[in-house]
Amino acid sequence: MKSRIFVTLKDGVLDPQGRAIHHAIEGLGFSGINDVRAGRLIELDHDESVTKADVEAMCRTLLANMVIENFEIEQS
């Protein structure tokens, strides 16, 4: 079983990496991009016995920093 965890910066938290990526995209000649936010994808391959609540606990205690980040979990 797999859990895909998307860790993203909270709204209102400035994202210097996203801004640099934005500049790089424009430097390559692409236009029309209004904003870039960079995040992180973490994939867990795990036993069926690991519940979504377990994965949420992992996110809260380690995988995301709740001061600056949000997370979403997709399981398949």
Spatial distance between the Cα atoms of 15 and 62, rounded to a whole number of angstroms? 20
Beta strand pairing call for 2-9 and 40-45: antiparallel
The span of 28-36, 49-57, 60-68 binding other proteins (CB under 8 A) equals 60-68
Contact 75, 44 (CB under 8 A): no
Site for other proteins in 1-40 (CB under 8 A): 13-14, 16-17, 19-20
CB of 48 to other proteins, least distance (A): 26
Name the minimum Å distance from CB 32 to other proteins. 23
Do 74 and 1 contact (CB within 8 A), yes or no? Answer: no
| Number of residues located near other proteins, criterion CB under 8 A | 12
Q: Which residues here bind other proteins, judged by CB under 8 A?
A: 13-14, 16-17, 19-20, 61-63, 65, 67-68
